[in-house]
Amino acid sequence: MTREQIDPLELSLTGGEPFNLVEALARRGVSRREFLKFCTIMAGVLALPVEKASRIARALENTPRVPLVWLEFQDCAGCTESLLRASRPTVGELVLDVLSVDYHETIMAPAGEQAEASKAATVEKGGHIVVVEGSIPLKDGGLYCCIGGKTAKDILFETVEGAIAVIAVGNCAAFGGIPAASPNPTEAVGVADLVKDVPVVNLPGCPLNVVNLTATVVHFLTFGSLPAMDHLKRPLFAYGKRIHDNCERRPHFDAGQFVEEWGDEGHRLGWCLYKMGCKGPETYHNCPTVRWNEGTSWPVMSGHGCLGCSEPNFWDTMTPFYQRLPEVPGFGVEATIDKVGLGLTAVAAAGVAAHAIGSAVRKKAAGASQEKEE
């Protein structure tokens, strides 16, 4: 597996303007104590030693403002929803907000030409970060997703011009996601399939876990570099470990204690969801450790198997979601591999039995004709 570490020198924070984050946060009612707590959490998410929290705090206090442009293409706005999910805006969101977000179609106040103008101004200055949510259709010249008369592809290329990095959030922007599921009617692709000369970071998930976006931005602001990534351009701090290896139900897996049916005794006892189709054994994500909704819970904790939403083509390759393995193609709906396999073995046994009878008959006949000859 290649571990890409983007050279910090290539990523100088040229485009930003100096400003005081702590003051900006204080104006929004975030105390210094809360800010430091946030820095500690970020150190944890990034799998850094706690001492690094103070380095993060220092860096964020002195960082220039990096403009961030958030584009939405073929998406459901679920990742945006994930960004805005909290009943009370968290420090993390505020950091993202005051640090950067210049353009975000769903949540920005300006509209129409005014909005486009503010984006154009940011892009012209360069040194910005582009966040992309949703896949990009290529079929028929890309006309399946147009905004303001331009195709998603054109908007993407226009916006990444002069950008420091592109962060593809959610499975759609990272790998094509649900729009790209078979038969992929719009020939949807992810950002990294198109953008080659600006570093791309993939933060898949359906939706994205906003903690990982915040941590990626914080890592960038603190160290001036993008985090180390895997072969799918996913940061290792968030996608370096398997769900199955960090899952709180894992002892039940090893013990041989499985939920057989929703709501059965094993389900109530918190046993492993493997037989209910959990895809934790093939999915890399930090859900078990950072969880969702401010660390409240995550799917497996709430009793539902993992769907593998941070893996490429999960809609095609992780289905059926509620079964261990896909069915046998061409053998009808209920044809599990074991039924077909057992059938095959039975056919082999029957064939062998028939052949044995045939051989016995042949031997007898041969014996008889031999006797006749003698």
Partner 1 sequence: MLRRVYVWEAPVRIFHWAHVASIAVLAFTGYYIGNPFITVPDETAQTYLMGWMRAIHFGAAFVFGLGFLVRVYWMFVGNQYASWRDWLPVSRDRWGFFGRQLKYYLFLAKERPHYMGHNPVAGLSYAAFGVMVLVQGLTGFALYAEPYADGFWRAAFGWLLTLFGNQTLRWVHHALMWLFAAFFVVHLYMAILADVEERNAAITGIVSGVKFNHAPDH
Residues of the shown chain interacting with partner 1 in the complex, contacts defined by CB under 8 A: 1, 3, 230-231, 236, 240-242, 244-245, 251-258, 260, 266, 274-275, 281-282, 284, 311-313, 317-318, 324-326, 328, 337-338, 340-342, 344-345, 347-349, 351-352, 355-356, 358-359, 362-363, 366
Residue nearest to ligand SF4 (CB): 280
Among 64, 270, 281, 312, binds ligand HEM (CB under 6 A): 281
Q: What is the spatial distance between Cα 169 and Cα 207, in angstroms, rounded to a whole number?
A: 8
* C-beta separation of 311 from 318 below 8 A: yes
Report the site for ligand HEM in 339-368 (rule: CB under 6 A). none
> Least distance to partner 1 from the beta carbon of 132, Å?
23
Q: Closest CB to ligand SF4 among 220 and 274?
A: 274
- Taking alpha carbons only, the member of 73, 305, 75 closest to residue 178 is 75
Q: Closest CB to ligand HEM among 195 and 300?
A: 300
> Least distance to ligand SF4 from the beta carbon of 324, Å?
10
CA 160 vs. chain centroid, Å, equals: 21
Residue 245 near which of partner 1, ligand SF4, ligand HEM, none (CB within 5-8 Å, type-dependent): partner 1
Measured in degrees and rounded to the nearest 5, phi and psi for residue 292 equal: -125, 165
Contact string 313-342 vs ligand HEM (x = CB under 6 A): ------------x-----------------
Q: Closest CB to ligand SF4 among 2 and 302?
A: 302
Residue 236 near which of ligand SF4, ligand HEM, partner 1, none (CB within 5-8 Å, type-dependent): partner 1
> Least distance to ligand HEM from the beta carbon of 341, Å?
9
> Least distance to ligand SF4 from the beta carbon of 341, Å?
23
Q: Closest CB to partner 1 among 23 and 261?
A: 261
Residue 261 near which of ligand SF4, ligand HEM, partner 1, none (CB within 5-8 Å, type-dependent): none
Burial class (CB in 10 A: 0-12, 13-18, 19+), 143: exposed
Where do contacts with ligand SF4 occur on this chain (CB under 6 A)? 243-244, 247, 249-250, 253, 272-274, 278, 280-281, 300, 305-306
> Least distance to ligand SF4 from the beta carbon of 269, Å?
13
> Least distance to ligand HEM from the beta carbon of 327, Å?
13
* C-beta separation of 43 from 52 below 8 A: yes
- Taking alpha carbons only, the member of 166, 70, 153, 173 closest to residue 118 is 70
Residue 251 near which of ligand HEM, partner 1, ligand SF4, none (CB within 5-8 Å, type-dependent): partner 1
**Residues found near ligand HEM in the complex (CB under 6 A):** 281, 325
